[in-house]
Chain A
Amino acid sequence: MNRAAPAGERPPGAIPPSVAVTGAVSLLLVAALAVPVLGHPGFRAWQTVCVALTVQALPFLLFGTVVSGAVNAFVPERVFARALPRNPALAVPVAGAAGVVLPGCECASVPVAGSLIRRGVAPAAAFAFLLSAPAVNPVVLVSTAVAFPGRPDMVAARLVASLATAATMGWLWLRWGRPEWLRMPARHTGHRPGHSRWEEFRIGFQHDFLHAGGFLVVGAMAAACFNVLVPRSVLDAFADSPWLSVLFLAALAIVLAVCSEADAFVAASLTGFSPTARLTFMVVGPMVDVKLIALQAGTFGRPFAVRFSAATAVVAVTCACLTGWWLL
C-alpha cells in the first residue's frame, strides 16, 4: 500500500525539508553579502528605478492582458480571418498598419500579439503588429511631436521607419521563420462550449497578467542595472562619430528600456547626437529592449525571443538609417 509509507508521502503543497534547509542557508548567505550593498545609495537608486519602471508599465500591461484575455474568450476566430487578407504576405503590412489602433506602450502589445496567434492569426502578421503597435500609435506620435517641436519630419521618419521594420520582420519570418522556435504555453485556446466565457476570461487574464508581470519585473531589474551603472558622461564619448553614434544609441535604447511613450523626450535630450542617431533610438527602443526580451521570452519562448530580438535590432537600425538618410 502506498499510503503506508509515511516518509515518501507529504501533503500536496508542503516543502520538502532538504529544500527548506538549502533555502534558509542560501537566504542567510545572501543576507550577509547584501548588508553592505543595501546601504549604498546606488542600490537605493536601483530600487527606485526598478519600482518606477514596474509602476509605469503596470497599467499598460494590465490593459494589454485585458485586451488579450477578451480576444481569447469573446472574439471568434472568423473575425480575424475576415479582417486580414488570406495571403500572409499581404496580411503582414495590413497587420503592421493596424498597430495604429492600440494606444499604449510595448508592454501592452506582447500579450495581445500572443492571443492573436492563439486565435489563428498568421504568426508573421501578429509579429508585424507586435512591432508596429508600440511605435506608431497616436499617443506615441503625439509625444514625439511634442518632444521635437517644429520637426514634423522627425514624426514622419519615425512612422515610416517603424512600419518598414515591422513589415520587413513579418516577411522575414514568412521566409525563414520556423514554427518550432515558437514555444507558447499551451493554454486557453479560445472559448470552449460548456464553459463560462467570463470564467475563461478571468482565468486567462489572471495567468497572463502574473506571467507577463513577473517577466516585466525581471526586465525592469535588468534595465535598472544599466540605468544606474552607465553614467551619462559615457554618451559624450560617442557623439562625434556618425556611425558609432547610431550603433551606440541603438544599444542604449536596448539597455535603458524606456517606455515608448517617453523615449522621444529622452531622444530629444540627447542633443549631441545626429538626427539619424536619435531616430534610431526611437525606432529600436519600442521594438527591442531588455524588458521586452524578457516579456517575449515568457510569451513566445526563449529560442524565439533571442533570434527575433537580434534580427529586429539589425533590421530596425538599417531601416532607421535609410529613413534618416532619406527624410532627415
Chain B
Amino acid sequence: MVAAVRRHVQAVLLLLTGAAVLHISLLSEVYLRYVKEGLRPFLIASAVLLLVLGVVGAVRDGLPFAPRRDTGEEGDAPGDEYGHGNEDGHGNEDGHAHGHAHGSGPRVAWVLFLPVLALLLYAPPALGSYTAARETGNAVARVARFDRLPDTDPVPLALSGFIARVQQDRDRSLAGRTVLMTGFVTPAKDRAGTWYLTRLVVSCCAADSRSLRVRVHGAPAPPADTWVTVTGTWHPGGGGGLGTATAAVALDARSVERVHEPVNPYQDTTPLPR
C-alpha cells in the first residue's frame, strides 16, 4: 500500500519537477533528446511556474524535514491525513466534504518521481540504432524541383537530400559526385559487410520518430550508435537506375570518420563542407 502524498511532500515534488525541467531546458540542451527546439520557451515557463508554486507551497505548508509553520488553514491537523488519504477517485465520497480535501494529495503522484529523478540523475539518451532498426522505409517527402548541387567536392548533403536525389531526381545530379553525410551507425543484419548510416527525425517528440537510412558498402561497420561522417559515391547494384523510385539507397564509402553526437540529434542537417 502506498501512502498518500502529504502536502509538504507535494511541495518537494513540485520543486523537483520544476528543477528537472529547468535542468534539461535552460541549463543544458538535453531536452533536444526528447522534444523539438520549439518547445523550449514553454518548458522554461513551466519550470519557473512549478518552482514558484513549489516555493510558495514550501513556505506555507513546510518541508518534510523542516518544522512547518502553522498557517491555521483547515485540514492541517496531524491526524487529518490518515482518515482522508483516499482521494484518487475511488470511494470516500461520503457526503461530508467539509475541508477533508487538502491535507493529502493523490497516491498516483508518487510515480512522477520516476521521470523527474531520471531527468535529474541521468537523462536517458537520445533514440538510436535500436529504434532505427525497427523502422521500415524512408520518411522523405516528394521534392518538386532539385537545385543544382554546389561545386564543392565532396558535396555535403543531409540524408533526406541524398535519398530524395537518388530516388526522385530525373536529372541524375548525383552521377559521378562524391557526397559527405553525417549520421549514426545502425548494423544491417540482412547483408554481411554493410551497415546503415542513419538519422531519426521527429515531428513533435521522440515517440513519433521516423528513420532515414542509407546502406553503406565497402567499409567495416563501426560500433552501433557511433556518429560518423561518411564520404562516398552512389552505389548502384540491385534496384533501378539513379533517379528512379526503385534505385538502391546506398553508398560506396571512401572514408568513414568518427564525429561527436550533434546537439540536436533529431535534426537532419547538412554537414559542414570539408
- Chain A residues packing against B (C-beta within 8 Å): 12-13, 15, 19, 41-42, 44-45, 47-56, 58-59, 62, 66, 147, 183-189, 199, 202-203, 205-207, 209-211, 213-215, 217-218, 220, 223-224, 227-228, 231-233, 235-236, 256-259, 261-263, 265-266, 269, 297-302
What secondary structure prevails in chain A residues at the interface with B?
A: helix
Q: Is B109 an interface residue (CB 8 A)?
A: yes
Q: Is the CB of B90 within 8 A of A183?
A: yes
Q: Is the CB of B88 within 8 A of A211?
A: yes
Q: Is the CB of A211 within 8 A of B109?
A: yes
Cα A236 to Cα B3 in complex, Å, equals 46
Q: Is B198 an interface residue (CB 8 A)?
A: no
Q: Is the CB of B130 within 8 A of A183?
A: no
CB < 8 Å neighbour of A203 from B87, B91, B102, B204 = B102
Chain A residues with CB under 8 A of B118: 47, 51
B39-72: contact bitstring with A at CB < 8 Å (1 yes, 0 no)? 1001101100110010011001000000000000
Chain A residues with CB under 8 A of B188: none
Q: On chain B, which size bracket covers the interface?
A: 35 or more
Minimum distance in angstroms from B185 CB to a CB of chain A: 13
Q: 8 Å CB contacts to A: which residues of B185-223?
A: 203-208, 210
29 A/B residue pairs, CB under 8 Å, sorted by A? A12-B79, A41-B129, A48-B124, A49-B127, A51-B115, A52-B206, A55-B21, A55-B34, A59-B39, A184-B89, A187-B87, A187-B102, A189-B97, A206-B14, A206-B53, A207-B105, A210-B10, A210-B14, A210-B106, A210-B109, A214-B106, A217-B111, A217-B114, A232-B135, A232-B136, A232-B137, A258-B207, A265-B204, A301-B90
Q: Is B169 an interface residue (CB 8 A)?
A: no
Chain B residues with CB under 8 A of A218: 108, 111
Chain A residues with CB under 8 A of B17: 213
Chain B residues with CB under 8 A of A54: 115
CB < 8 Å neighbour of B206 from A12, A49, A263, A266 = A49
Minimum distance in angstroms from A262 CB to a CB of chain B: 3
Q: Is B82 an interface residue (CB 8 A)?
A: yes
Q: Is B256 an interface residue (CB 8 A)?
A: no
